[in-house]
Amino acid sequence: MKERGFTLIELTIVLAILVIVSGVLITRLPGWSSRQALRSSARVLGNTIRTWRERARADETPYSLEFSGGSYQVLLGNEVLRKGRLGEGEEFESDVPRSLILRARGILPKTPLTIQNRRGERITIVPGVLINEIEYQEPN
């Protein structure tokens, strides 16, 4: 008598195909990839702020972080130490300050930095005033 059913290999192959197809479909959903790119840019900028803020405290040297259009740079006096760009089609909103001073004591004024993309999606980066943490806010 022959038993009916599927082997473990057959089930694994079907499951792998389903995972690949669902992954492709999810990334093709409208707006999904643009929101992910915006979040990625915000995280990179947030990590840059945290890194250089901590470095300012460790070195007891103030650094300046300047914003323009879709790019930013870290300066020590007039010397550019690092340059960065937001993702394609992303830029800082007009109300973002032109620069942020990262001081040796680590204290920052409350400075929300909002990034938007071509689709009008936004994310706001809010560095902690007294602690070196970053909050990310997305409108619902």
Residue 102 burial (CB < 10 Å; 0-12/13-18/19+)?
buried
Average pLDDT of span 111-134:
92
Q: Are 65 and 99 in contact (CB under 8 A)?
A: yes
C-alpha count within 13 angstroms, C-beta hemisphere, residue 8? 0
What confidence tens digit (pLDDT) does each residue in 58-106 have?
999 999 999 999 999 999 999 999 999 999 899 999 888 899 999 988 8
pTM here is 0.76
Per-domain residue ranges of the chain: 32-137
pLDDT at 29: 64
CATH of domain 32-137: 3.55.40.10
pLDDT at 102: 92
User: At 40, which helix (H) or strand (E)?
Assistant: helix 32-59
DSSP state of 67: E
Distance (Å, whole) CA 61 – CA 130: 17
β pairing state of 91-92 and 113-116: antiparallel
- Tokens encoding 107: 């204290």
